Amino acid sequence: MPSSATPYGARPVGTISSSGSFSAKVRHYQIASAYGTNIFFGDFVKLVTAGTVEKDAGTTTATPIGIFMGCTYTDPNTSQKTFAQMWTASVAASDAYAYVIDDPDVIFEMQCDGSAAQTTLGSNVAITQTSGSTTIGTSKNTVDISTSAATTATLPLRIVDVVQTPNNAWADSYTDIVVKFNAGHLMDNTTGI
């Protein structure tokens, strides 16, 4: 049972749709050369007016295009094509692309920042933004269960299940849950950027 905080950001596991199989397809979105913020595997990203993606740092509201799954660019120091789990801030590369799962119906596992009761199933929740691990390149974002589980329509995530493994259950100290995008996903928003 998760008794300690070991956050891992958003880990895609399927779609809310019962038809078809989940293939974790990604779309390539350009990252602006020298974009100055780290983006970690499992972070949410948003499309900006320049036509590039950036880290979506929203908490109680967000406008994600999807989940960051890594990137590719030509390393300015070695001139070699590089595939990376995280985008390192300020890399000067005109050919930088993010791999993004942009399906608005994707469901994903996230760890809560505390204990999630079964009564939170179907609730909307916010995101706790935390700096990721530069050692392994993964996100450390969590679900803000301690302050935000509510009916509030504008919260960015909705709880759809608990992660069903022998070492995880409702009311564990740091419950792993399954969530989906609730409000703000760009593909479901009728207002463009």
What is the C-alpha separation between 183 and 128, in angstroms, rounded?
16
Mean pLDDT throughout 84-111?
Answer: 97
Q: What is the number of helices (H) and of strands (E) in the chain?
A: 1, 12
- Residue where the block lists tokens 């463009």: 192
Q: What is the pLDDT of residue 19?
A: 63
Question: Is the predicted pLDDT of residue 187 greater than 90, yes or no?
Answer: no
Q: Are 177 and 162 in contact (CB under 8 A)?
A: yes
User: Across all residues in the chain, what is the average pLDDT?
Assistant: 93
Cβ neighbours for 14, distance < 8 A, ≥ 6 positions apart: 22, 106, 107
Question: Is the predicted pLDDT of residue 1 greater than 60, yes or no?
Answer: no
Tokens of 82: 């590089």
What is the C-alpha separation between 96 and 118, in angstroms, rounded?
42
Q: What is the pLDDT of residue 135?
A: 95
Q: What is the pLDDT of residue 148?
A: 86
Tell me if residue 181 falls in helix, strand or coil. strand
More confident site: 180 or 3? 180
Q: What is the pLDDT of residue 16?
A: 86
Question: Is the predicted pLDDT of residue 3 greater than 80, yes or no?
Answer: no
Question: Is the predicted pLDDT of residue 130 greater than 90, yes or no?
Answer: yes
Tokens of 47: 């499309």
Counting residues of the chain whose pLDDT is more than 90, the rounded percentage is 85
Q: Which of 113, 95, 92, 79 is nearest to 8 (CA)?
A: 113
Count of residues in the chain: 193
pLDDT bin (cut points 50, 70, 90) of residue 165 is very high
Q: What is the pLDDT of residue 49?
A: 95
Mean pLDDT throughout 123-145?
Answer: 97
What is the C-alpha separation between 108 and 10, in angstroms, rounded?
6
Q: Are 32 and 162 in contact (CB under 8 A)?
A: no
Q: What is the pLDDT of residue 18?
A: 64
- pLDDT tens figures, 43-83: 999 999 999 999 999 999 999 999 999 999 999 999 999 99
Question: Is the predicted pLDDT of residue 93 greater than 90, yes or no?
Answer: yes
Question: Is the predicted pLDDT of residue 118 greater than 90, yes or no?
Answer: yes
Q: What is the pLDDT of residue 20?
A: 64
